[in-house]
Structure 1
Amino acid sequence: MTGNALEELTIDHVRAAAERIRGAVVRTPTMYSKTLSEITGADIWLKFENLQFTAAYKERGALNALLQLTEEQRNRGVIAASAGNHSQGLSYHGTRLGVPVTIVMPRPTPTVKVMQTESVGGNVVLEGETFDDAYAHARKLEKELGLTFVHPFDDPHVAAGAGTVALEMLEDAPELDCIVTPIGGGGLISGMATVAKALRPEIEVVGVQAELFPSMYSKVKGEARDCGGDTLAEGIAVKAPGEFTSQIIAERVDDIILVGEEWLEQAVSLLLQIEKTVVEGAGAAGLAAVLANPERFAGKTIGLVLCGGNIDTRLLANVLLRDLARSGRLARLRVTLKDRPGALYKVMKEFDEHNVNIIEIYHQRIFTSLPAKGLITDIECEARDRKQLDALIEALRNKGYSVSLVELN
């Protein structure tokens, strides 16, 4: 990167990128969501970047960077540090173009991510315990082997490729007056904001970060915030934001919002239930921000990028079950009983009368603080909604039972 960042990323750069990558990436649909619009009080348009071959928008920037390599650079190959979508996008298109691709990942990277990257042609090197360790090793190999480093976000070519998302979105939904986009390192929103402000200066561009990783928020707003933790939005869990992208964001992005984990989980769940589409935590961050701030976005016509769909299936199952629990459709009731014949049967009758389905029952006689003749019974159950569940709890208490709802953290 040299010179002025604003001059290195313009709508002309994005348009040139669109021509380069045309036909080699999926031109994903932008569709109106009637149900999400009703839920949020805004007009919601969704850009389905989770439909790319590697299930993420990252292909666009990776391919744009690859297509601008010299012949010598292509022959020597490229290298990147990534355990996420960038590694797959770069590996897939590098292999397709005959460019050797090396990806350095931290040793604790889940095996499935290593396998996914290798399956599309990447040569994976495991090094270090953290991303910073992997990144340092990748830069070392870059020099030693004469490879070209392709940064996942802090690069004008990568950001220009990402900006093609906005070109397509505004072509399909020109009525948008607001774009809400996830921010990790800032590559996607830099490209999108560049396009949006060039075509429609009045359009509002809002970035979203997970509360646990407010790195770009802190940098742009000049606030010192802790950064780290176990977030569902791992694709935007970036501790060190881009230097190039932060300059673009400071100039072209109107606001950055932080969202909590509960909203991210709800957004992932809603997108699967309503749109029948699988989206990872980072890809659902835009919707999470709108759900968490209804007054902020009420009445606006909003474009949301579902930027990736690579979520572990077990994690997705947990998210869906937790959402059912929060809505009152799944619950665990803790009931204190006397250890006598028929005690549990009488409780079961109440479940039957309220038509609440029992899934699991856990008896605890030993490890309790109750007297020897007392026991605690945890009953996992399935109700139609919170109202039905509350009616059951009230009925049990009216019969003299001590009942508590085991809440999610």
Structure 2
Amino acid sequence: MELNLERIKNAQENIKEVSRRTPMFHTSTFSRLCGCNLYLKCENKQKTGAFKLRGAYNKLVNLTEEEKKKGVVASSAGNHAQGVAYAATAFGVKARIVMPVTAPQAKVNATKEYGAEVIQFGQVYDECYAKAVEIQKETGATFLHPFNDLDVMAGQGTIGIEILEDLPEMDVIVIPIGGGGLISGIATAAKAIKPSIRIIGVQPEIIASTKASMEKGEVVTLPGAKSLADGISVSTPGTECFKYIQKYVDEVVTVSEDEIAYGMFSLMERNKLIVEGAGASAIAALLAKKVNGIQGKNVVAIVSGGNVDIATVSKIIERELVLQKRRIKFVVELQDKAGTLGILITEVGAMGGNVVTVRQNDNWNEKGLDYADVQLVVTAQSKEHGEEIVKKLREKGYLVQISKPV
């Protein structure tokens, strides 16, 4: 048995009534920033919020009736869990899924809501995997591997067919890599249809196990690490996946945690897409100029998933606003009398600043009790706008002291 275009086309037929044909659209903003004709393939718009449904459902289709009766067990950082839960429920199959205790709560809750029993164990995927194998041996259930399975890889490969059906002139596909199921499936399909197409993988630099494996020429295991891209924080690539990665993937690049966060923020701000860290990894690599030879080329970045906690989204937004100096914190000395604080806030608002928080402290210094320090956090339209607000306040006679980043 092997992974090939025929098998992937069969998978496409198997999942066509369930899986969405996700949108792929051109983005002029990112095209300009990245120097190519850039398209986004939005698997965050797939059912369950990620591409994983494709492989999970195709695997369930190929189980025997006896295997279905025994149930299934899986291990997952979150997206495979939801895909398996959805697919198992559709077939009336009992599913037990092991997820790390660090998995985003949104993914845990969604997996339960799709009908699976969730067991939380370990800090990273590899610990979950060991626990799931233990449960499989105890129960006799079928283990549904999140990536190292030909049926799963074939399901994910249907994305490659869709891309080249929608845009045959595509030159480059940039794909996040965890265990390798997604990229091996897409690469196999895309190279079979168009051998000249370039396939670029992206991994977090703190756990770039596939890149290390490609450099050594064999599968290697790296120490577990928790990336913001939790869905692709995998210590060991799949052995089956690696065969096809070696054969079809042209290059693997890495991105830092800061670059992943910026990718998430940029997709939210520029394209109104809420994505998880893994889903933002491809665009992160392109924005960071990690992918060479794409000038003027037709490039698609796979936005692999959107299952991210809202609390994490809030932190990412806050962090990027501070780093870009679009949220500033400063202290203004005021006379402590009625109306002065209101005038200050009005002045800031008139200059286009959005006052987020205000805190007034008594000023116990040589000036006595007639003065107070007022601490403001203000969101500006840009770094330059924030600097202009501070400058104009000083020109109006206010004593302004910039604080450390919020």
Whether TM-score is above 0.5 comes out as yes
**Match for 1:156 among 147, 150, 170?**
150
Partner Cα separation in structure 2 for residue 67 and residue 191 of structure 1: 17
Contact 1:80–1:150 under 8 Å retained in 2? yes
| CA spacing shift, 1:246–1:151, aligned 2, 3 Å | same
Partner Cα separation in structure 2 for residue 365 and residue 135 of structure 1: 57
What's the counterpart of residue 66 of structure 1? 60
Aligned pair 1:253/2:249, yes or no?
yes
**Match for 1:264 among 260, 266, 269?**
260
Partner Cα separation in structure 2 for residue 143 and residue 248 of structure 1: 29
Q: Which amino acid aligns with 2:230?
A: E
TM-score by length of 1: 0.87
Aligned pair 1:301/2:295, yes or no?
no
| CA spacing shift, 1:203–1:129, aligned 2, 3 Å | closer
Contact 1:212–1:227 under 8 Å retained in 2? no
**Deviations 1:161-206 (CA, angstroms, capped at 9, x unpaired):** 1000010011001111000000011110001111121111111110
* Aligned partner of residue 48 in structure 2, secondary structure: coil
Aligned pair 1:169/2:166, yes or no?
no
Aligned pair 1:362/2:359, yes or no?
yes
Q: Which amino acid aligns with 2:206?
A: L
TM-score by length of 2: 0.87
Alignment of 1:322-337 (within 5 A): 322-333=319-330, 335=331, 337=333
* Aligned partner of residue 184 in structure 2, secondary structure: helix
Deviation, 1:73, is 0.8
Contact 2:177–2:201 under 8 Å retained in 1? yes
Alignment coverage as a number of residue pairs: 398
Superposed CA RMSD in Å reads: 3.0
Aligned pair 1:403/2:397, yes or no?
no
Q: Mean Cα displacement is larger for which, 89-98 or 350-359?
A: 350-359
Partner Cα separation in structure 1 for residue 284 and residue 382 of structure 2: 22
Q: Mean Cα displacement is larger for which, 320-329 or 218-227?
A: 218-227
Partner Cα separation in structure 2 for residue 303 and residue 380 of structure 1: 39
Partner Cα separation in structure 1 for residue 150 and residue 274 of structure 2: 29
**Match for 2:184 among 190, 195, 198?**
190
* Aligned partner of residue 206 in structure 2, secondary structure: coil
Partner Cα separation in structure 2 for residue 142 and residue 303 of structure 1: 38
**Match for 2:8 among 14, 18, 31?**
14
* Aligned partner of residue 316 in structure 1, secondary structure: helix
Aligned pair 1:38/2:32, yes or no?
yes
What percentage of residue pairs aligned between the two structures are identical? 36
Contact 1:214–1:225 under 8 Å retained in 2? no
**Deviations 1:284-330 (CA, angstroms, capped at 9, x unpaired):** 11111110007723322111111111111121122223333344432
Contact 2:72–2:93 under 8 Å retained in 1? yes
Aligned pair 1:277/2:273, yes or no?
yes
Aligned pair 1:147/2:174, yes or no?
no
Q: Mean Cα displacement is larger for which, 7-16 or 95-104?
A: 7-16
**Match for 2:381 among 367, 372, 384?**
384
What's the counterpart of residue 315 of structure 1? 312
Deviation, 1:20, is 1.7
Partner Cα separation in structure 2 for residue 166 and residue 286 of structure 1: 15
Contact 1:91–1:101 under 8 Å retained in 2? yes
What's the counterpart of residue 239 of structure 1? 235
| CA spacing shift, 1:14–1:353, aligned 2, 3 Å | closer
**Match for 2:213 among 197, 216, 219?**
219
**Match for 1:105 among 73, 84, 99?**
99
